[in-house]
Amino acid sequence: MTIGASGCAQRRLTLQALRAAQELSQVDVARRLQSSQSRVAKMGASDPSVSVDLLVKSLFRLGAQPGDMAKALRSRRKVPTV
């Protein structure tokens, strides 16, 4: 089952949104990721000790699509030209 941005009710692409869309607990997600519940909680709380690599892998394992990821990573600010 894949859940993209549309499955998250047009909310920001977040671990919590993907978890909620699939009605998964932190323990369920931890099992899917072969990680711990405390690590999933840290990801949800944006703890700086969580690597970007782990967060991205987690989002993909929960059904995020590459296009969703690109939109989430794209800057919404205009970058000044030099």
Looking at residue 42, its pLDDT comes to 93
Report d(CA 15, CA 28) in Å as an integer: 13
Per-domain boundaries in the chain: 6-66
Looking at residue 30, its pLDDT comes to 95
First to last CA, the chain: 45
Answer whether 0.75 is exceeded by the pTM: no
Report d(CA 31, CA 19) in Å as an integer: 13
Chunked into runs of 10 residues, the chain (82 residues) has average pLDDT values of 43 81 95 94 90 90 87 64 62
